[in-house]
Structure 1
Amino acid sequence: MINAILFAILLIILTVPFFVKAIEDNIEYFLFVMGIIAVTVSGAMSLDLLSHILKNHLLYIITAAVFISGLLFEIFKIKIKEFVKSILNHISLKIFVFMLIVVLGLTSSIITAIVASLVLVEIVHILPIHHKDKVVITVIACLSIGLGAALTPVGEPLSTLVISALKKDFFYLLRTIGIYIVPAIFVMGILGAFYVNRFADNAKPKQEEEYFKEEEMEIRQIENIKFIVIRSIKIFIFLLALELLSAGFKPLVDNYVMHMNVRLLYWVNMISAVLDNATLAAAEISPAMDPEHIRAILMGLLISGGMLIPGNIPNIISAGKLEIKSKEWAKIGIPISMAVLVVCYIFVFI
């Protein structure tokens, strides 16, 4: 009975935000409420759980990083804009986007996914393109960052937990999944450049200036103290919600996911689009597994994390700062992630 209710909650989370605009606009609060319901239904709600969640230093680090970066952008946005404009005077926008996606993807394992995503959104903020195009580039870049950050235990919680669970060395994940992730990052860069090429190839300075003027009002509206504070609070609530959901859905993971064939598990791990992939990785990966199984589990989790906003930390930060709605993200994230999943499956299993 409990599992059936949890399945129903998962279905609600996956569908309702796309049909109810009020929920889509307040996805953080919706997920928080669903998280509370999930932990209550599963019997996981306790003072120990709340204490464990509130002691998670990442909640405060990410929230503080978002708040501080917002303030810094407010202070230096004119200089940043001039810097980006200067670069775009020397290279095309498509080359710039390619470099942005690839460099952040490759360095996220060192500078962390949090820092990489903060750099991403501040640059995307002032690119001479419309909001809908920023959404596409951001989704692609976040998938690149999410993949790249897993190459070392420094990059993100998932890789830290995996290295700890397997008791492996610093470069183990680079050796194990790097052969898939590094090419995927370059593919993401090419995809971003190809998309930009559709509307910005040989863009004239006058056109770029018009874009900058158009976005100026948006930037002024977004980057003010009140908005920065509200956005930081929303991201904190979002992170709390993910912690609650992961704890609430643990019975489903324990009863069903952990006992699956690795090929099926690869696809089932698409649930990491709404659940914390680090928690799933910790539950699924064992030192007794061979590298092929570990590789399949990790790639399924990492790629699926790009599908929806809750999928990973870069998504949450970027969507929050750029005001990207769930439907906007899913429209781009799901087809791209599915395509990458299919290609990766062929390389890993066939």
Structure 2
Amino acid sequence: MITGLIVLLLIILFLPFFVKAVEHNLEYFLFIMGIIGVIISKQMSLDLIEHIFKNRLLYYITFAVLIAGMLFFFFRDKINRMIELLTHKISIQLFIFIVIIMLGLSSSFITAIIASLLLTEIMHHMPLDRNTKLKVIVLACFAIGFGAALTPVGEPLATITISKLKADFFYLARAIGLEIIITILLMACLAALVVKKANKIDKDEFIENTEGIKDVFLRAFKVFIFVFALELLGTAFKPLIDLYIIKLDAKILYWVNMISAIVDNATLAAAEISKDMTNEQVRAIILGMIVSGGMLIPGNIPNIISAGKFKIKSKEWAKIGVPIGLILMAVYFVLVFVLKV
């Protein structure tokens, strides 16, 4: 069973980079892998399916994506005019800097889902070439992923951590708040720098959003499938986590948690976090999860929403996300374990 799960993990990690059909249908691929995973781990049952369907988060995320998508669809022209007005008053790089900081910090209260939907709509209206938008989106998703961990409202990872530790609302803000704020500022600065060096697109060359109402519903459905797939994958890999991962030293656990780039980090948190852990161990685990969550498309909800909206390929995302993630992982490892800041 364990060998089968390891092989499945490798397939999920590498296949999207080499098979275009998988890359273009990532949500359905992950769903199929989730089904195979729970069969391999002998956890497929009607009770499991019923449990997933009873998960309110599944419907909350889907309806949030659907409603926000419809609002953006019907008010597209007004949003475009507002962004044009703002970017005429301030530079585009300053505008992007402010947007990423606001979305990163507010994601802990409006949730990472709403923050990422706002990001995709704003970026669509930016007079920038696709390559620049791609870089800004990946950087922004890192910021949103970090910011959402400030409070238990932002994302399931934070909710489960607070619950497992029986901690107060602002525990994570105290534990890793400084790292989160610094990272959000860093991502905003990098995005502004990317925009400053980019080639701007004239209004006449700007490609209008041709997304129809069917596309809005399809995106919401894909998000539903994606969240369902994460539930399946989390359940499938739990025996592997219980047998090997949770017994590791905090320093090793920090790097091993890079698997949250493809496995639901909320599931990892549920399996790993314990109230008997030290603050250092909790910091290491949470930082490892949220950093690696930005490295690949399946790592976080903001990634999958943004990648779907802009048709970002797995290789394109990884080309930007993996180097940034590895650098952040190395920096925080030194800070937490070597310098013990």
Q: TM-score range by the shorter chain?
A: over 0.9
1:165 Cα shift?
A: 0.8
User: For residue 232 of structure 1, what is the aligned residue in structure 2?
Assistant: 220
Please give the per-residue CA displacement for 1:158-180, whole angstroms capped at 9, x wherever unaligned: 11111111111111110001121
Give the conservation status (yes or no) of the 8 Å contact 2:297–2:304. Answer: yes
User: For residue 156 of structure 2, what is the aligned residue in structure 1?
Assistant: 157
1:146 Cα shift?
A: 0.6
1:61 Cα shift?
A: 1.3
User: For residue 184 of structure 2, what is the aligned residue in structure 1?
Assistant: 185
User: For residue 276 of structure 2, what is the aligned residue in structure 1?
Assistant: 288
Number of positions where the alignment pairs a residue of Structure 1 with one of Structure 2: 338
CA distance in 2, matches of 1:99, 1:151: 19
State yes or no: 1:169 paired with 2:168. Answer: yes
User: For residue 107 of structure 2, what is the aligned residue in structure 1?
Assistant: 108
Give the conservation status (yes or no) of the 8 Å contact 2:108–2:151. Answer: yes
User: For residue 327 of structure 1, what is the aligned residue in structure 2?
Assistant: 315
CA distance in 2, matches of 1:230, 1:116: 20
State yes or no: 1:209 paired with 2:203. Answer: yes
User: For residue 257 of structure 1, what is the aligned residue in structure 2?
Assistant: 245
Identical counterparts, % of pairs: 55
CA distance in 1, matches of 2:74, 2:231: 33
User: For residue 332 of structure 2, what is the aligned residue in structure 1?
Assistant: 344
The 5-angstrom pairing of residues 123-134 of structure 1 reads 123-134=122-133
CA distance in 1, matches of 2:136, 2:106: 18
Give the conservation status (yes or no) of the 8 Å contact 1:130–1:215. Answer: no
SS in structure 1 at match of 2:207? helix
One-letter code aligned to 1:162: T
User: For residue 262 of structure 2, what is the aligned residue in structure 1?
Assistant: 274
* Higher mean C-alpha displacement, 288-297 vs 52-61: 52-61
Please give the per-residue CA displacement for 1:103-158, whole angstroms capped at 9, x wherever unaligned: 11111111111111111111111111122221111111111011011111111111
One-letter code aligned to 1:170: F
Give the conservation status (yes or no) of the 8 Å contact 1:274–1:310. Answer: yes
SS in structure 2 at match of 1:51? helix
State yes or no: 1:307 paired with 2:295. Answer: yes
1:68 Cα shift?
A: 1.6
Give the conservation status (yes or no) of the 8 Å contact 1:303–1:341. Answer: yes
1:214 Cα shift?
A: 2.7
TM-score by length of 2: 0.97
Please give the per-residue CA displacement for 1:47-93, whole angstroms capped at 9, x wherever unaligned: 11111111111111111111122211121111111111111111111
Give the conservation status (yes or no) of the 8 Å contact 2:28–2:225. Answer: yes
CA distance in 1, matches of 2:153, 2:214: 32
Give the conservation status (yes or no) of the 8 Å contact 1:235–1:320. Answer: no
1:208 Cα shift?
A: 3.6
SS in structure 2 at match of 1:86? helix
The 5-angstrom pairing of residues 10-29 of structure 1 reads 10-29=9-28
User: For residue 73 of structure 2, what is the aligned residue in structure 1?
Assistant: 74
CA distance in 1, matches of 2:139, 2:202: 22
One-letter code aligned to 2:309: K
User: For residue 298 of structure 1, what is the aligned residue in structure 2?
Assistant: 286
Please give the per-residue CA displacement for 1:245-300, whole angstroms capped at 9, x wherever unaligned: 11111111011110111101100000000011011011111100110111001000
Give the conservation status (yes or no) of the 8 Å contact 1:147–1:185. Answer: yes
- Structure 2: give runs of 5+ residues left out of the alignment: none
Q: Which runs of 4+ in 1 moved over 3 A?
A: none
SS in structure 1 at match of 2:287? helix
Give the conservation status (yes or no) of the 8 Å contact 1:16–1:23. Answer: yes
The 5-angstrom pairing of residues 22-101 of structure 1 reads 22-101=21-100
TM-score by length of 1: 0.94
CA distance in 2, matches of 1:58, 1:150: 16
One-letter code aligned to 2:241: V
One-letter code aligned to 1:283: A
One-letter code aligned to 2:156: P
1:215 Cα shift?
A: 2.1
CA distance in 2, matches of 1:74, 1:251: 43
CA RMSD across the alignment: 1.1
